[in-house]
Amino acid sequence: METDWAIESENLTRAFGDVRAVDDVNLRVRWGSFYGFLGPNGAGKSTTIKMLTGLLEPTSGSMRILGESVRQDQEQLAIKKRIGVVPENLGLFDNLTAREYLTFVGRMYLMPVDTIQQRSEDLLSVLGLQDEHKKLTLEYSHGMKKKLSLAAALLPNPDLLFLDEPFEGVDAVTSRAIRDILSDFVARGSTVFLTSHVLEIVERLCTDVGIIAHGKLIEQGPLDELKQDGSLESLFLQRVGNHEETRVEVSWLKDRAV
């Protein structure tokens, strides 16, 4: 192993004006782990992923990905070739079909055309997109776009996969297919870093979790150790502020004049 960690950040910070969206975050993601990055809306998850994948410059702090320091002044193609990303906005091109898009991505990774074709067929078929020959991405539904973005991230068989909300907006059959693919992927020694609000899925899949709130990483480690005998949901609710797990009511929603 090159280092102890597949992803390591030191005081990683990103400010937008006065708001520190990500605030002194020290991530430690083990090689071969399935790391769930959790937090309420606006906590800083997507901003963290964007910095780790080179889509956004940090305000301060440093990162090591796959044992290599990430520096903003360098292209660092060697690392980029080893990671796959499903970003928040999915990063697709409107005017390409799925096969055209996957071919484009594969060529960017310098993959041979026949490998791209064979892997594309496999991925499109596993994700249920094999019959969408003629549709352009702009004609895709939200869930179809998400699947295509995942196919593109998996295509180069990366060592490390970053997924921002891979289960959001996909149907139950696809969710199951994605879970199976990702479990196999990690079982073969690759590392997954994902964000998700679906705690049941995270609890079933992930080996490690990190919880972020208001830009601060407030908990991180192996899932079993963190949740002890409780559920991930109760750990999450405790850590992000709803200590008593009290029911929240909006009383006027019940008022009905009959």
Ligand X SMILES: Nc1ncnc2c1ncn2[C@@H]1O[C@H](COP(=O)(O)OP(=O)(O)OP(=O)(O)O)[C@@H](O)[C@H]1O
Using CB under 6 A as the criterion, which residues of the chain lie in contact with ligand X when the complex forms? Answer: 16, 19, 21, 39, 41-47
> Which DSSP category does 253 fall into?
G
Rounded to the nearest whole angstrom, what is the least distance from the CB of residue 49 to Mg ion in the complex? 8
What three-state secondary structure class fits 117? helix
Number of residues that bind Mg ion (CB under 5 A): 2
Which residue, 46 or 220, is less far from Mg ion as judged by CB?
A: 46
Rounded to the nearest whole angstrom, what is the least distance from the CB of residue 246 to Mg ion in the complex? 26
Strand ranges of the sheet holding 83-86, from the earlier edge strand across to the other edge: 83-86, 160-164, 191-195, 34-38, 208-213, 216-222
**Contacted entry of ligand X, Mg ion, none for residue 19, CB cut-off 5 to 8 Å set by kind:** ligand X
On whether the CB atoms of residues 172 and 189 are closer than 8 A, the answer is: no
Rounded to the nearest whole angstrom, what is the least distance from the CB of residue 133 to ligand X in the complex? 33
Does 174 interact with Mg ion (rule: CB under 5 A)? no
Which residue, 86 or 116, is less far from Mg ion as judged by CB?
A: 86
> Applying CB under 5 A, which part among 41-49, 66-74, 93-101, 232-240 lies near Mg ion?
41-49
Alpha-carbon distance 173 to 128, whole Å?
Answer: 9
Does 46 interact with Mg ion (rule: CB under 5 A)? yes
Which residue, 58 or 106, is less far from ligand X as judged by CB?
A: 58
Q: Which residues contact 177 (CB under 8 A, 6 or more apart)?
A: 126, 127, 128
Which residue, 88 or 100, is less far from Mg ion as judged by CB?
A: 88
Alpha-carbon distance 151 to 123, whole Å?
Answer: 6
Which residue, 101 or 162, is less far from ligand X as judged by CB?
A: 162
> Applying CB under 5 A, which part among 40-48, 120-128, 168-176, 242-250 lies near Mg ion?
40-48
Alpha-carbon distance 14 to 210, whole Å?
Answer: 18
**Contacted entry of Mg ion, ligand X, none for residue 222, CB cut-off 5 to 8 Å set by kind:** none
Alpha-carbon distance 197 to 242, whole Å?
Answer: 16
On whether the CB atoms of residues 233 and 67 are closer than 8 A, the answer is: no
Which residue, 103 or 149, is less far from Mg ion as judged by CB?
A: 149
Alpha-carbon distance 172 to 4, whole Å?
Answer: 36
Does 48 interact with Mg ion (rule: CB under 5 A)? no
Rounded to the nearest whole angstrom, what is the least distance from the CB of residue 149 to ligand X in the complex? 15
**Contacted entry of Mg ion, ligand X, none for residue 47, CB cut-off 5 to 8 Å set by kind:** ligand X
Tell me the CA distances in angstroms from 65 to 47, 152, 252, one per residue in order: 16, 20, 50
Does 196 interact with Mg ion (rule: CB under 5 A)? no
